[in-house]
Structure 1
């Protein structure tokens, strides 16, 4: 944030002649502390306007960048929204914060968990997993994110064997119960919608007792791209969505220009310095640490703090600061002949910044920044995969992209091979019941989810020609099922031959019958005038005689 503000203050295009001030507060991821800090900066500053210096100096807060978590941002927004102070968060992803009725002044540069939850459900469906476990943080981030995921998963036909929650401050017994549920479950795939701190506690618990069976971890952006968790080697193969990596020119040099005086004047930098070089800056050195002698060179330090190859959340902070700066620029500056002219005497109010923030649309270092009606940016995620390197270390590798702005069905772009659990290159299987082959149909098991079923053979005269068919179809009249009952085949037509025994027998009986009929007819004809033959036609003759008598009368 400081780096971005220094860039803006030295810029001749953005807010020329105007310098931005700032104050940094640490909420300690605590709601009470965050609320206390909000009241502190709301009450401690008064506006000052000075015409003598040809400038205005305002101590009033124009905007807030933060907080880092959804729960603290919710509390913070509820306090400052009454004063129309805009808040731009870099890492608060709870979908609930998109509700403008409750949080009218909230914006963010990180996508909403609603999009991430839908993307995770599509990812699970994409690889054919229908039987999964669900783990979440017992916080606004975890509970709301998991609720959105479960809703999206249900639409995709995915069943959840279990859904458990925990928080880092919970008793050890509860965290152990969550770990036991994961160990005993049948589901191979585990979707974890948890914060980094909570996930770290859970993974420690899974490694502290009996070995956990192999599990394919699917992670949310809060932990799956954090290099610190890659030391849990049993999670190798994990996959999930993360904020895309970025490049911020000049940031590394800015961070590494630390003078001893700067370090000594800052409690945070002092703590960082002593931890990084395992020495102490105080005179009362403990027996465990030596006194820093001044030869420590941060340029040669190799750790997470100096590694700028994984700039993810950092870029969200960078974009948030620039969004506020552009909003202020649009409120006090005008373009005249292609040059920005800013009115330094403008009495700026936070409500003006709030209005302008809704309209910002700019590009910085190739990154687009804008907000929709809910204060959310365009959702783009990087598909991250934990892969083992040649030296045995676990690395976070970008294997694809998810762009929510693309047409339905084309959001995924996977361009690299994915390594799965236990180093396998084959997609793991996680289903309650194996697929029913053609020739069978699914019969749901009583009292169990729809993903659990039995495979029953199709009845006589019916077939099923697809996998996991729910019904069998009858064949047409001229067809019957094959042996596997997966297709209908024509009934065979058999012709009789005079050389066949049955043909000879039928032909003989037919000839004998015809001859017998001819013989009887001939006998009747020859003896047609005999009484016995005439008697056979007596009824007809009698009727004929009656008709003759009627004519005579």
Structure 2
């Protein structure tokens, strides 16, 4: 059982693979460029091979998030009357593979002098054409990116990074986000434990900015609650997939009598834990942080019902206006290169659902599909309403900041597109800026 708890350019962009194997990149020219960082892949071979690393485990839903960014920019460029008359917004989107090193490499490409791409030198008065960066998803990756973009005063807006560390403006002066920090999520988790009158809980975090700060905050909250005991608290290492580490953790969980186990860690760690729970028929009550509370890769695991019940936390949800119709038209047919890439690496068999029946819509992995196809209604029904909307809002905020900075009205703009990235950050709408700095 899963319970979800809520708390408060061109039409056909050209996608291509970079020199790093399957790493994807998309670019559309414009007078002003907005950079995008998305984890289209979720695994790298950095720890198993020498030399250049490559990426695997294509994550189609992360690609859909990037489509929200493209859709929002396309909408701005085509809107009548124009928001930014005589100015075109372009984008430069990179695949981070959910990896800090890949993300830093992509960020440096966004900030470099495009007039001399082979040079590593940056002139004293150089101003990057990239005026804002959207991303990344994971807090650990966003923190690394934030340190780099701050050097050029380029504003960064994350659509999913929730670590409280990112709220420290002295450390991350140009970082913003369209999602609340973990401060509110951890408080909601503590209230859930109190609501169900659970006396013993366990906390599993990880040795990264997301898992460590989240689990620390939870531990402090429970320490202040007189009737709640933290039976154990584990911080998973970076190489958690190591058999020795998994065996140790599993022994602790198996012998635990905690009434609820909070998994405040990244998705890849949760997959390992849940697969073990299924294999051992261990039914427990789990509390999911927002990193995995809505993940299909977890809740479509074969036999997941044997793992017990899950209470998950998500941010407030809202639909991106017009995006569903855009997706249906965008992926109509199998000529889209990214869709073909996905089907090649993850063959899908889809049963035709009954008319207007979302319940009968199924996406299943299979290595024996002879006819690769994707039901578009099924795809549209699986568009998330939290991260997608957060991405959409991030673009709207950047554009509104540009409109104010360039002094634009329906007839024209009072300034040219020649300005510093630093100016963009301080021209965000005041009421939205307050929300983004939480």
For each residue in 1:283-328, what CA deviation from the matched residue of structure 2 results, as whole angstroms up to 9, or x when unmatched?
xxxx966586xxx56435x3xx432464221111111111111111
Shift of 1:91: 0.9
Give 1:216 deviation, angstroms.
1.5
Q: Select the residue among 108, 119, 132 that pairs with 2:201.
A: 132
Partner of 1:55: none
Structure 1 position 239, deviation (Å): 1.3
TM-fit CA distance, 1:107: 0.1
Cα distance in 1 for residues equivalent to 2:291 and 2:413: 40
- The match for 1:353 among 424, 427, 430 is 424
Quick check: 1:238 aligned with 2:298? no
Paired with 1:245 and 1:317, the residues of 2 have a C-alpha distance of 12
Of residues 165, 173, 187, the one that matches 2:235 is: 165
How do 1:279-318 and structure 2 match up within 5 A? Answer: 290=370, 296=373, 298-299=375-376, 302=378, 305-308=379-382, 310-318=384-392
Q: Where do residues 418-497 of structure 1 align in structure 2 (5 Å cutoff)?
A: none
Count of paired positions? 337
Q: Name the CA shift for 1:236/1:13 in 2 (closer, same or farther; >3 Å).
A: farther
Deviation at 1:270, TM superposition (A): 2.3
Q: Which protein, 1 or 2, shows the higher relative CO under an 8 Å CA cutoff with sep ≥ 6?
A: 2
Q: Residue in 2 aligned with 1:25?
A: 94
1:261 Cα shift? 9.5
Gaps of 5+ in 2: 1-68, 117-126, 351-366
Matches within 5 A, 1:68-147: 68-147=137-216
8 Å Cα contact 1:35/1:76 also seen in 2: yes
> What per-residue deviation string (whole Å, max 9, x for no partner) do you get for residues 78-135 of structure 1?
1110110000001111100000111000000011012211221122122222311111
Contact 1:136 1:194 (8 Å CA) reproduced: yes
Matches within 5 A, 1:385-396: none
Contact 1:27/1:33 (<8 A) preserved: yes
**Is contact 1:165–1:178 with CA below 8 Å preserved after alignment?**
no
Deviation at 1:225, TM superposition (A): 2.2
Return the alpha-carbon distance in structure 2 between the equivalents of residues 211 and 340 of structure 1.
Answer: 66
1:60 positional shift: 0.9
1:135–1:193 contact (8 Å) kept in structure 2:
yes
Q: Secondary structure at the match of 1:152?
A: helix
Q: 1:256 to 1:309 in 2, by over 3 A?
A: closer
2:285–2:310 Cα contact (<8 Å) kept: yes
Q: Deviations over 1:332-387 (max 9, x none)?
A: 1345xxx4642362422101101113x344xxxxxxxx2328712xxxxxxxxxxx
In the alignment, is the contact (CA less than 8 A) between 1:69 and 1:91 conserved in 2?
yes
Whole-angstrom distance in 1 between the partners of 2:141 and 2:374: 36
1:463-511: CA deviation from partner (whole Å, max 9, x where unpaired) = xxxxxxxxxxxxxxxxxxxxxxxxxxxxxxxxxxxxxxxxxxxxxxxxx
Query: Does structure 2 retain, via aligned residues, the 8 Å contact 1:334–1:341?
Result: yes
CA offset digits 1:193-239 (Å, max 9, x no partner): 1222221121012222x321x32211111111223322311345321
Contact preservation (8 Å) 1:168, 1:201: no
- Residues 20, 192 of structure 1: CA spacing in aligned structure 2 closer, same or farther, 3 A cutoff? same
Q: Name the CA shift for 1:168/1:311 in 2 (closer, same or farther; >3 Å).
A: farther
TM-score, with structure 1 as normaliser:
0.56
CA contact (8 A) 1:94 1:112 kept: yes
Per-residue CA distance 1:33-60 (angstroms, 9 max, x = gap): 111112222224249xxxxxxxxxx961
Match of 1:319 in 2: 393
Match of 2:362 in 1: none
When residues 4 and 235 of structure 1 are mapped into structure 2, their CA distance, relative to the original with a 3 A threshold, is: farther
Aligned equivalents of 2:286 and 2:390: distance in 1?
25
Structure 1 portions without partners, runs of 5+:
48-57, 280-286, 362-369, 377-553
TM-score (norm 2): 0.70
After TM superposition, give the deviation of residue 278 of structure 1 in Å: 6.2
Residue aligned with 1:161, SS: strand
Change (3 A) 1:237 1:207: closer
Separation in 2 of the partners of 1:351 and 1:109?
19
